[in-house]
Structure 1
Amino acid sequence: MTAAVANAAPVAERVSNAGVAAAALRRLGTSLLVVVVALVVLAVAWVALLRLFDVSSFVGKTPLDVFGYLFSDAPARAVRASNLTAETARSQLFDAWLVTVGDAAIGFVTGLVVASVIAALFVLVKPFEFAFMPIAMLLRSVPLVAMAPVLLLIFGQGKLGIATIGAIVVLFPALVNIVLGLRSASPMSLDLIKVNGGTDLKMLLMVRVPSALPALFASIRISVPGAIVGAMLAEWLSGFTGLGGILNAYKGRGNFSGVWAIVVVSVVTSIVGYAVAAVVEAAALAAWGPDAGKSARR
């Protein structure tokens, strides 16, 4: 009997791992398909709208123009300045992209961590919600474009100011989702821990957090594009670094192909980031979510 139990544990672990891997692979395939379809639809809509509104070719660049700007040694006329090579254009864009991704990552992590802590305090300390929620709603009602310059004056135009703006973009949507997720825990499970002498903190860690994982990952997926937009807005207002910063410079020089290239890179980054978050979500929920292990047992 003991030997059977000992042998069952590795088997169960292998089944569980197989279920997690299968869930991640299924979501990976779906995400790749979504990314490809989204990019094709966006490209078609891009060209169609340029033609529909009869946008001047000097300002409105097509996907082929952007490709020529970044990769062609002899692009079409008015696509790239004669003193700018494709290699230099790619280098400028890539360097700015790295800065923006770093700024967005700082804001994303900060906003998500702060939202999770505040959501936990809402559940554990009821008066905290009544004190903080009006302030949160007030801040949420102020347009980010109006708030961002004030935040940059307070926190400076460096990494701290940019990260603060990105964190605020992530904070409020994540906070609402995570609070709802924590409060969606099964009352029977909570009562079971309570009658056995469990504390509110134990109920939070053992029941509420696993129940909130779907809401948490939904917040992560939503926050990835938001963090990039927040970082670019902060860079656009603060100087000439990152995608937002060189967007100012390109617009001032009349480098509209560069402007469209920035749009393409930021959109692709957001879509890919969203897809990566979806794959991680599928694997995490299969391993630790409310329905963990069910797919593996089927």
Structure 2
Amino acid sequence: MTRIAASVGRRAAVFAGTVIALLVVWQVLLAVTGISPFIAKSPIDVWSYLWAVPDAAANRALVLDGLAVTAHDAGIGYVAGLGGAAVISTLFALFPALATAFMPVAMVLRTFPLVALTPLIVLVFGRGDAGLAAIGFIVVFFSALVTISFGIAGASPQALDVVSVFGGRRWAQIWKVGLPSAVPALFTAARLAIPQSLSAALIAEWLITGEGAGSQLMRAAGTSQYAALWATATVFILATTVVYTLVTTLEELVLARFSGPGAP
């Protein structure tokens, strides 16, 4: 419990420091660049929009409703892309010939612009959760696949030999040695997938669903509602930072458990 409390406290302090630094940089940049206050809103303007003006409650509800939709959309892509990468990277470790045949094709497909693929995705998967999962999968999957695959491939040869000597087949080697050694890589992929899945959700909301924070940002920019634009972007960035901090904290606790005195 002491380790958990220390880790949570440390990450909370880092989060608070990051937020304060961003606010200071934001305010300084506005002062230095001299952008018109009509377009560029300060942290105080965003605070007023969300908490001080007469319509603050309605403004908060609008921003949070959009954020909830985007969180749902990003979550679908996050799970689809990261889960798919974990499964496929395990299959690649079991069947190296499959990786040799598929990986070049996967990298070529990843080079296609997502905007160009979106109409095809809509035709095949529709505009619902399946389409969101497909877009999130495309954005998250490939980098996660490479990261996790390298993690599994980095397993200790000596540990693999021990499993083999005791009669373990390839699956046993991957299960008992490869996957545990890939835990750091899995968390790295999980952290990288957070902004990727959120970007995928915003793209999907711009091009497919017309809902969520992505759609709100587009409408606010198109109608010169800059206070709403900055407020939505600020809340979105804060939420992303919170999720990233939570995943990083979980990573620290899990890796400490694997490397600590009581590790198996």
TM-score bracket, shorter-length normalisation: over 0.9
After superposition, where does 1:276-295 map in structure 2 within 5 Å? 276-287=246-257, 289=258, 291=259, 293-294=260-261
After superposition, where does 1:194-273 map in structure 2 within 5 Å? 194-273=164-243
Q: In the alignment, residue 95 of structure 2 is paired with which amino acid?
A: V
* Corresponding residue of 1:4: none
- Spell out, residue by residue over 1:195-222, the C-alpha distance to the aligned partner (whole angstroms, 9 max, x if none): 2211111111111111110111111112
Q: In the alignment, residue 226 of structure 2 is paired with which amino acid?
A: F
Q: How far apart are the structure 1 equivalents of 2:43 and 2:240? A: 18
Among 17, 31, 41, which residue is 2:11 paired with?
Answer: 31
Among 44, 47, 52, which residue is 2:27 paired with?
Answer: 47
Q: How many residue pairs align between the two structures?
A: 263
Q: How far apart are the structure 1 equivalents of 2:36 and 2:197? A: 32
- Spell out, residue by residue over 1:68-127, the C-alpha distance to the aligned partner (whole angstroms, 9 max, x if none): 1111135xxxxxxxxxx1111111111111111111111111111100011011111111
Range with bigger deviation, 21-30 or 271-280: 21-30
- Residue pair 2:217, 2:233 contacting (<8 A) in 1 also: no
Q: TM-score, normalized by length of structure 1?
A: 0.83
Q: How far apart are the structure 2 equivalents of 1:90 and 1:65? A: 14
Unaligned stretches of 5+ residues in structure 1: 1-20, 75-84
User: Structure 1 pair 150/26, CA: closer, same or farther in 2 (3 Å)?
Assistant: farther
Could you say what the CA RMSD is over the residues aligned between the two structures, in angstroms? Answer: 1.8
Q: How far apart are the structure 2 equivalents of 1:258 and 1:52? A: 23
* Corresponding residue of 1:170: 140
Unaligned stretches of 5+ residues in structure 2: none
C-alpha displacement at 1:52, in angstroms?
2.7
User: Structure 1 pair 143/39, CA: closer, same or farther in 2 (3 Å)?
Assistant: farther
* Corresponding residue of 1:11: none
Q: In the alignment, residue 224 of structure 1 is paired with which amino acid?
A: I
Q: How far apart are the structure 1 equivalents of 2:238 and 2:106? A: 31
C-alpha displacement at 1:169, in angstroms?
2.0
C-alpha displacement at 1:231, in angstroms?
0.7
Is 2:89 the counterpart of 1:112?
no
Name the % identity. Answer: 38
Is 2:37 the counterpart of 1:67?
no
Is 2:65 the counterpart of 1:95?
yes
| Secondary structure in structure 2 of the residue aligned to 1:67 | helix
C-alpha displacement at 1:252, in angstroms?
2.3
Q: In the alignment, residue 231 of structure 1 is paired with which amino acid?
A: A
- Residue pair 2:66, 2:211 contacting (<8 A) in 1 also: yes
C-alpha displacement at 1:53, in angstroms?
2.5
- Spell out, residue by residue over 1:212-238, the C-alpha distance to the aligned partner (whole angstroms, 9 max, x if none): 101111111121122112111211222
Q: In the alignment, residue 123 of structure 1 is paired with which amino acid?
A: A
C-alpha displacement at 1:41, in angstroms?
1.5
Among 110, 128, 145, which residue is 1:158 paired with?
Answer: 128
Q: In the alignment, residue 118 of structure 1 is paired with which amino acid?
A: I
Q: How far apart are the structure 1 equivalents of 2:18 and 2:216? A: 26
C-alpha displacement at 1:243, in angstroms?
0.4
| Secondary structure in structure 1 of the residue aligned to 2:182 | helix
| Secondary structure in structure 1 of the residue aligned to 2:40 | coil
Q: In the alignment, residue 240 of structure 1 is paired with which amino acid?
A: G
Q: TM-score, normalized by length of structure 2?
A: 0.93
C-alpha displacement at 1:145, in angstroms?
4.0
Among 140, 151, 159, which residue is 1:189 paired with?
Answer: 159
